[in-house]
Structure 1
Amino acid sequence: MTDAVVTALREIANRDLYQRNAFHVTALPTNADRRTTRRRQQHVIAVLEAGADLETTGSRDPDELRIAFDRLLGDPRRRMVDEVFGEWGRPNGDCGCDVPVHQAHDEAVYAHASAIELLLERPSTSSHPATLGMWQRASERWTTALADPQFWQHLRNRVLTLDDWQLAASAVDQIRSEVPATLTGPLIDLATTGDYPARVVIMLREWAVGGASVQGWVLDALRPQYERAEDATVALLRRLQQGYHQVDPVIAELERSVLPVYRRLQVLLPSEQHQRTLALRDDVARVYQNSAVGIANEGSVQDTRITHLFDQAEGYAGTADMRALIAENRAGVAQLVSIDRFRPQHAAQPESSLGTGCIVGIVVAIAIVTYIVIGLLS
């Protein structure tokens, strides 16, 4: 069972790491005792009930304030986690720290919070150097702070000061183990759900806090997206087996639900380096290709959609085998088109059929395409 400290650290590992911090929301110092916290809570509740404006808190949202006070007055393990990412301020003698210890911590917090805010802004050429510089600075500041033994001694002293049976000394070791992943969390959150993953990739290269573990954290975070995209492509290929009338809705669904995920994966875990992305890339190409062959085999070889679908398939194909298969299918359909042009115009043929007639070449071409379709969909 995961301890409450680790659970809390993982819950806050996102772009709101500092914005939702309980001490930031309530504007309380991280060394505030329960009595001070309770008084602030009562004051805030009274002000909100009176309909007056709050000027002494970092947030004016009643729900956000309620959650923050619950964290501070509830489980001390969760409060301890918020202390790590709150402002420590100048030492007052309770924790036994020297001024530089708190200063180094707060500089890291400010730099990291500012870096996240910059990355949330719409990208522009002028903002890129500033954003990159801020992320480099945040990485350096947190690396320096975490390397100082007094940083961890401060947390041990805080455990003793809080003096709660739920908060054991081992909480500090859990924080030490988990905090690099928590600090990397905002980048991973923005990489997996943000609008500009390409920017995040650049910042991840400058983020030294997680070290070699960062790549593994990115993989773990993207695993659900892989699974959704893979399941979706399998379902779309099965739908194509129902007939060429499914092509338009299948392509629409592919471009709506699969391609955005694939493009994000291609940016973060490119197919040139990651086999799973490469496999998904070929699956996307297969959907386009099977759609083209389906139309040619069951509908009309003159259908203008076929060329576009083959072009898309070739564009997405990632392996030599897939490219060869697409070329083979395209050549087969081209042969059908050539034969269809010489078909007698007076012959009564349904538009959706390639026809058989008495020309042996047509029969052979249809057999080729049918064989290809069966092989692809089996």
Structure 2
Amino acid sequence: MKESPARFADLAGLRLYRRNIFAVTGLSVDARGPAVRRHRQRLDARLAVEETWRGDADSPVPGGHRKEEVRLAFEEFQDPRRRLVDELLWYWRDADLGCGCSPSTHERHDDAVRAHSRAIEAETGALPPPGGGDAAWHWGAAASRWAALLENTDLRGHLAHRMTALADPRLDDYSPDDFLAGVPGLLLSPFAELADDRAARPRLAEVSAGWAQYPVFAGPLPDVFEDTVEESVDRLKDALRTAGERHEAGQHADALAALEQRVLPAYADFESLTRFVSESRSEEMAHTVTVALNNVALGICEAGLQKPFQRSLIEVMETASRIAPQRDQAQIDQNLTAVRHGRPGAGPNRMKPRECLTCLFVLATIIGGIVGGVTVGPALAVPLVFGGIFVVGMVAQ
């Protein structure tokens, strides 16, 4: 999309509407030439004696815009590529744009902008959501209205007309699709900032699921959370690396401290993002953490140091059991039981002497049953096998 992505990046996030050049300057979307210059001169004079300017009547910025913000907005206005992006994300109202759109298309566009702007302000503002309804309602309304609008062929025709009307050579290499392609990601961009708040993630996941129902948003939605997820994964990997290095060096107490103070909090942060992560990746991270918890706990047990750390070891292994993927569950639960019972030799692929004896006894019983069945007959073999199994059970107890 050539130059236009730069503007999408500038607007992205919770300040999407607060940075809009029409919101800041108060210009209408059909403003051109002399009208723009006269308006700028009036604002320059006004801001020479006043600290702020209110901006458009629907500007969501409390307290208005400062001189530097207004100056920058007028500079952005001079680039038709940037102006068109801001036009798409601001109110068209009853401006005579000569685009030939159905009046209902303009009304639906403004309704979509209004719902989206109110959803953002409901998330960030100190006041209740404007216009009634909670933030989730406004998010849902914005999703449905923008999805319908982006599928409306009138919107592409509208943009094609605006590109012709602006008659700027800098637009010659562009098509309406070059601009429309970036709109879904821009509308979703506030979610990336909201995801930084762990407490908001469960509710945000529900809101995002509503947007994902629409094909136009389902594709770009995972990319919105990519940076947040990757940062969380990087923190978790660093914590695991620290715990692993201490474990390998035989620094058992330090390794356990790294699990409790770094790995578990980092994994809790990652867990809060799992609804934005593929199932396979979520399972692989759970497996990696499970193995780390298990190995450090068993290392302490095998070193005979479990007594002063017993409570912590049990908590670590209980966490491992809770998060373990199905492939790890049986082994982890076995090791958890061993740690709870304070067995210092507990660990994967290790058995106590009694367990070895039991295995040998089982094998001898099976062999004896087979031999008896061949030489004497089933009448002797069956009691021998079942009697042996009973004795095995007594030994295991």
TM > 0.5 fold call: yes
Partner amino acid for 2:313?
Answer: I
**Distance 1:325-1:38 versus aligned 2 partners, 3 A rule:** farther
- Please state how far the C-alpha of 1:274 moved relative to its aligned partner: 0.5
SS in 2 for 1:86: coil
- Please state how far the C-alpha of 1:174 moved relative to its aligned partner: 0.9
1:168 to 155, 160, 172: 172
- Which structure has the greater CA radius of gyration? 2
1:300 to 285, 298, 305: 305
Q: Supply the distance in 2 between the matched residues of 1:133 and 1:259 (Cα, whole angstroms).
A: 29
Aligned to 1:311: 318
Partner amino acid for 2:200?
Answer: Y
1:252 aligns with 2:256: no
SS in 1 for 2:111: helix
Summarize the alignment of residues 351-370 of structure 1 with structure 2, pairs less than 5 Å apart.
366=345
1:24 aligns with 2:20: no
Aligned to 2:280: 275
- Please state how far the C-alpha of 1:155 moved relative to its aligned partner: 1.4
Aligned to 1:183: 187
- Please state how far the C-alpha of 1:316 moved relative to its aligned partner: 2.0
Q: Supply the distance in 1 between the matched residues of 2:293 and 2:168 (Cα, whole angstroms).
A: 61
User: Contact 1:201–1:268 (CA<8 Å) still a contact in 2?
Assistant: yes
**Distance 1:184-1:40 versus aligned 2 partners, 3 A rule:** same
- Please state how far the C-alpha of 1:293 moved relative to its aligned partner: 2.5
1:326 aligns with 2:329: no
User: Contact 1:233–1:284 (CA<8 Å) still a contact in 2?
Assistant: no
CA deviation map 1:208-251 (0-9, x unaligned): 26254255435645552464145325413233323113121442
- Please state how far the C-alpha of 1:175 moved relative to its aligned partner: 1.8
Q: Supply the distance in 2 between the matched residues of 1:144 and 1:370 (Cα, whole angstroms).
A: 56
- Please state how far the C-alpha of 1:301 moved relative to its aligned partner: 1.9
Partner amino acid for 1:253?
Answer: R
**Distance 1:194-1:54 versus aligned 2 partners, 3 A rule:** farther
User: Contact 1:14–1:185 (CA<8 Å) still a contact in 2?
Assistant: yes
Partner amino acid for 1:290?
Answer: N
Partner amino acid for 2:294?
Answer: Q
1:228 to 220, 228, 234: 234
**Distance 1:332-1:206 versus aligned 2 partners, 3 A rule:** closer
Q: Supply the distance in 1 between the matched residues of 2:41 and 2:296 (Cα, whole angstroms).
A: 64
- Please state how far the C-alpha of 1:81 moved relative to its aligned partner: 0.7
User: Contact 1:240–1:294 (CA<8 Å) still a contact in 2?
Assistant: yes
Range that drifts further, 167-176 or 101-110: 167-176
1:9 aligns with 2:8: yes
**Distance 1:334-1:40 versus aligned 2 partners, 3 A rule:** same
CA deviation map 1:84-114 (0-9, x unaligned): 1011110325444453332221111111212
**TM-score computed with the length of structure 1 as normaliser:** 0.75
1:154 aligns with 2:149: no
Q: Point out which structure has higher relative CO (alpha carbons under 8 A, 6+ apart).
A: 1
**Distance 1:299-1:61 versus aligned 2 partners, 3 A rule:** farther
- Contiguous gaps of at least 5 residues in structure 1: 339-364, 373-378
Query: Number of aligned pairs?
Result: 334
CA deviation map 1:270-317 (0-9, x unaligned): xxx611111112223333333322333446221232222222222222
The sequence identity of aligned pairs, in percent, is: 24
Q: Supply the distance in 1 between the matched residues of 2:347 and 2:210 (Cα, whole angstroms).
A: 51
**Distance 1:140-1:329 versus aligned 2 partners, 3 A rule:** closer
CA deviation map 1:91-150 (0-9, x unaligned): 32544445333222111111121223334479x9xxx97444333322232233233333
Aligned to 1:376: none
Q: Supply the distance in 1 between the matched residues of 2:21 and 2:74 (Cα, whole angstroms).
A: 7
User: Contact 1:291–1:309 (CA<8 Å) still a contact in 2?
Assistant: no
1:139 aligns with 2:129: no
- Contiguous gaps of at least 5 residues in structure 2: 351-397
User: Contact 1:91–1:99 (CA<8 Å) still a contact in 2?
Assistant: no
User: Contact 2:239–2:258 (CA<8 Å) still a contact in 1?
Assistant: no
Q: Supply the distance in 2 between the matched residues of 1:230 and 1:69 (Cα, whole angstroms).
A: 44
User: Contact 2:225–2:276 (CA<8 Å) still a contact in 1?
Assistant: no
Q: Supply the distance in 2 between the matched residues of 1:18 and 1:249 (Cα, whole angstroms).
A: 43
Tell me how large the CA RMSD over aligned residues is. Answer: 3.4
Summarize the alignment of residues 204-219 of structure 1 with structure 2, pairs less than 5 Å apart.
204-207=208-211, 208=214, 210-214=216-220, 216-217=222-223
**Distance 1:302-1:69 versus aligned 2 partners, 3 A rule:** same
**Distance 1:70-1:264 versus aligned 2 partners, 3 A rule:** farther
Partner amino acid for 2:180?
Answer: R
